[in-house]
Amino acid sequence: MEPVVLKRPEHNVSRKNISSAAIKVLYRLKDEGYTAYIAGGGVRDLLLNRHPKDFDVATDATPEQIRKMFRNCRLIGRRFRLAHILFRGEVIETATFRAPVPEDEEAHPENIFRTGEEGMVMRDNVFGTPEQDALRRDFTINALFYNIADFSIIDYAGGLEDLKKKTIRVIGDPDTRFTEDPVRMIRAARFAGTLGFEIEKEAYDSICRNKDKLELAASSRMYEEVQKLFFCGHAKQVFQWLEKTDLLHPMNQDFSHWIDEDKARHDWVIQTLEQMDRWRKANLRVHPALLFALLFGEYHEFLMQQLVDAGTPPHDAAREAVHKHLQGICTNVRVPKQVIYQVSDIMSNQLRLQQTKGRRPQRFLHHKGFLDAFLYFKVSSKAHGRNEELLEFWSKLREEKK
Ligand code: ATP
Ligand code: MG
């Protein structure tokens, strides 16, 4: 199929807005005679006048050819080898155009795995044409290319139209594509929330039909995507899409039922997400443990109270509640053990913030878990209009330390 091509005067993408590292990679590939495109989210964001998070390059050079061209290059990936070209403060992910995996091979992976040089099991690279590479991507707006050779935009999937219409549209048949990789459903919610787009009707209906397949997604991939949902700076809108599509339910059943029971619980979640978004806007780094502590905080406190009522000492109850809940999620979203421990630290340290007598506060102030515990305490106290005096006490102590 012939793609739609927008020549340089017909679009707004300027080299000025592309990182110098990405420009270097593109020109190097081009000068060696290869095709070199920016692909995916970078092109989408440039066309929307948004600031791209990063730039991915797609090319017809093979990973080995790329490695020979760049001294600062590492090949990664077991199934499909990608080149990471390292610059100071930036990595340009450079991938060879990729073909879709033929269906019969997808069904019988044992036929195409072989033992690689390092003795690991790896799948042969399945290189493809630019068109195939575009069409294997998830949504039309994520399938655009920027060609460094003539500064044109190349569109094989109708992404330009959908950018204009502000639409998230699946490439190909939604049921097939969501079954193939269920993570795409939460990606749809993320892009709709972040960009302020609508999910196109067929895709939307398909998500409603297929949402339970999310439980089948690879748990490590889910963890990555779940973090992106809440760290994207538009967590509130993304969450609203997760609710609208009911994707929240297969992601975390108990939590989602618990929210549905009481509007106040729902309000808490929305408030913490607004806080996350404010922090992101201010360019503050929030790490995953604080995110999970805040997001699930009310729920964890609820579980804790149940344990305390049943006779568990409060400190143990905090740890037990967090571990039970987050470990339960782990079958679906592989939350790293370390993060679970940090979340339970935040929750159990809430008890230490209640104590203001003697030398304990000073000691706790210098403890490495203090800041996260305090931030949680501050957000939750403000949300509930409680602990005013305690907040003042700790804020003052922090000021004095500075
Ligand atoms: P962001 O700006 O949040 O990074 P992005 O569009 O760059 O958004 P990535 O997760 O970085 O998203 O993926 C880069 C590109 O790879 C996407 O734009 C899309 O073309 C393709 N892609 C990523 N994940 C999938 C998937 N699950 N199925 C198909 N294509 C995908
Ligand atoms: Mg990206």
* Shared domain check, 210 and 333: no
pLDDT for 400 equals: 87
* Shared domain check, 67 and 178: no
pLDDT(348) > 50: yes
Q: List Cβ neighbours of 10 (8 Å cut-off, separation of 6 or more).
A: none
What torsion, rounded to 10 degrees, do the Cα atoms 14, 17, 18, 21 define? 130
Cα radius of gyration (the chain) = 24
Which of 56, 131, 142 most suits a substitution to test ligand 1, by most atoms within 8 Å of the C-beta? 142
**Residue 245, ligand 1, Cβ within 6 A:** no
Calculate mean pLDDT across residues 133-162: 98
Where do we find the tokens 């991938």? 95
- Cα distance between residue 180 and residue 177, in whole Å: 5
CA angle 109–115–118, rounded 5-degree value: 135
pLDDT for 331 equals: 79
Q: List Cβ neighbours of 66 (8 Å cut-off, separation of 6 or more).
A: 29, 59, 73, 83, 85, 94, 96
pLDDT(103) > 90: no
Percent of the chain with pLDDT over 70: 94
Please confirm, yes or no, whether 104 is among the known catalytic residues: no
**Measuring CA to CA, how many Å separate 66 from each of 61, 109, 234, 253, 256?**
6, 27, 36, 45, 46
Nearest Cα to Cα of residue 96 among 80, 115, 112, 108: 80
Which of 131, 137, 146, 228 most suits a substitution to test ligand 1, by most atoms within 8 Å of the C-beta? 137
pLDDT(82) > 80: yes
Closest C-alpha to ligand 1, atom 14: 40
* Shared domain check, 151 and 7: yes
Confidence of residue 124 (pLDDT cuts 50, 70, 90): low
Residue 126 tokens, joined: 């399945």
Calculate mean pLDDT across residues 68-83: 90
pLDDT(115) > 50: no
Q: Can you give the residue range of the structural domain that contains 213?
A: 173-244
pLDDT(177) > 80: yes
Amino acid identity, position 339:
V
Ligand 1: nearest atom to the Cα of 181: 27
Do residues 329 and 335 lie in contact, with contact meaning Cβ atoms separated by under 8 Å? yes
Confidence of residue 108 (pLDDT cuts 50, 70, 90): very low
Ligand at minimal distance from the CA of 44 is 1
**Residue 174, ligand 1, Cβ within 6 A:** no
* Shared domain check, 214 and 290: no
- Cα distance between residue 343 and residue 349, in whole Å: 10
Ligand 1: nearest atom to the Cα of 177: 28
Domain CATH number, residue 53: 3.30.460.10
- Cα distance between residue 275 and residue 269, in whole Å: 10
**Residue 190, ligand 1, Cβ within 6 A:** no
pLDDT for 126 equals: 84
Calculate mean pLDDT across residues 315-337: 90
Confidence of residue 100 (pLDDT cuts 50, 70, 90): confident
Q: What are the beta bridge partners of residue 121?
A: 115
pLDDT(321) > 60: yes
* Shared domain check, 8 and 118: yes
* Shared domain check, 390 and 317: yes
10 Å Cβ neighbour count for 49? 9
Ligand 1: nearest atom to the Cα of 184: 27
* Shared domain check, 70 and 180: no
pLDDT digits (tens, 9 = 90+) for 252-285: 889 999 999 999 999 999 999 999 999 999 999 8
- Residue 2's SS3 state is coil
Among 186, 217, 244, the domain boundary falls at 244
330 compared with 321, residue with greater pLDDT: 321
* Shared domain check, 259 and 213: no
Q: What is the pTM of this model?
A: 0.91
Among 244, 275, 293, the domain boundary falls at 244
Do residues 237 and 194 lie in contact, with contact meaning Cβ atoms separated by under 8 Å? yes
Ligand 1: nearest atom to the Cα of 143: 20
- Cα distance between residue 13 and residue 146, in whole Å: 8
Q: Could you tell me the distance, in angstroms and rounded to a whole number, from the CA of residue 138 to the centre of ligand 1?
A: 7
Ligand 1: nearest atom to the Cα of 42: 7
Supply φ then ψ for residue 79, to 5 degrees: -80, -50
Q: Could you tell me the distance, in angstroms and rounded to a whole number, from the CA of residue 141 to the centre of ligand 1?
A: 10
Please confirm, yes or no, whether 56 is among the known catalytic residues: yes
Total domains in the fold of the chain: 3
pLDDT for 380 equals: 92
- Residue 383's SS3 state is helix
Confidence of residue 333 (pLDDT cuts 50, 70, 90): confident
pLDDT(116) > 50: no
**Residue 138, ligand 1, Cβ within 6 A:** yes
Closest C-alpha to ligand 1, atom 6: 41
**Residue 184, ligand 1, Cβ within 6 A:** yes
pLDDT digits (tens, 9 = 90+) for 138-151: 999 999 999 999 99
Nearest Cα to Cα of residue 56 among 144, 122, 166: 144
* Shared domain check, 158 and 49: yes
Residue 191 belongs to what H/E stretch? helix 183-195
Give the mean pLDDT of the chain.
Answer: 91
pLDDT(188) > 50: yes
pLDDT for 85 equals: 97
pLDDT for 119 equals: 35
pLDDT(349) > 60: yes
Calculate mean pLDDT across residues 2-7: 97
**Residue 53, ligand 1, Cβ within 6 A:** yes
- Cα distance between residue 79 and residue 82, in whole Å: 9
- Residue 312's SS3 state is coil
pLDDT for 125 equals: 65
Domain CATH number, residue 381: 1.10.3090.10
Q: Could you tell me the distance, in angstroms and rounded to a whole number, from the CA of residue 304 to the centre of ligand 1?
A: 38
pLDDT for 102 equals: 61
* Shared domain check, 153 and 289: no
Ligand at minimal distance from the CA of 52 is 1
pLDDT digits (tens, 9 = 90+) for 207-256: 999 999 998 888 888 999 999 999 999 999 999 999 999 999 999 889 99
- Cα distance between residue 278 and residue 361, in whole Å: 29
Nearest Cα to Cα of residue 139 among 161, 159, 164: 159
Please confirm, yes or no, whether 60 is among the known catalytic residues: no
- Cα distance between residue 285 and residue 176, in whole Å: 37
HSE value, Cβ hemisphere, 13 Å, CA-based, for 271: 18
* Shared domain check, 198 and 88: no
Of 45, 60, 138, 277, the catalytic one is 138
pLDDT(106) > 90: no
Ligand at minimal distance from the CA of 194 is 1
Among 209, 244, 279, the domain boundary falls at 244
* Shared domain check, 213 and 135: no
CA angle 347–353–357, rounded 5-degree value: 150
Calculate mean pLDDT across residues 42-68: 96
**Residue 50, ligand 1, Cβ within 6 A:** no
**Residue 98, ligand 1, Cβ within 6 A:** no
Closest C-alpha to ligand 1, atom 21: 137
Could you list the beta-strand ranges (E) of 281-333.
none
Closest C-alpha to ligand 1, atom 1: 41
Which of 25-29, 99-103, 157-161, 317-321 comes out lowest in average pLDDT? 99-103
Q: Could you tell me the distance, in angstroms and rounded to a whole number, from the CA of residue 56 to the centre of ligand 1?
A: 10
- Cα distance between residue 94 and residue 82, in whole Å: 6
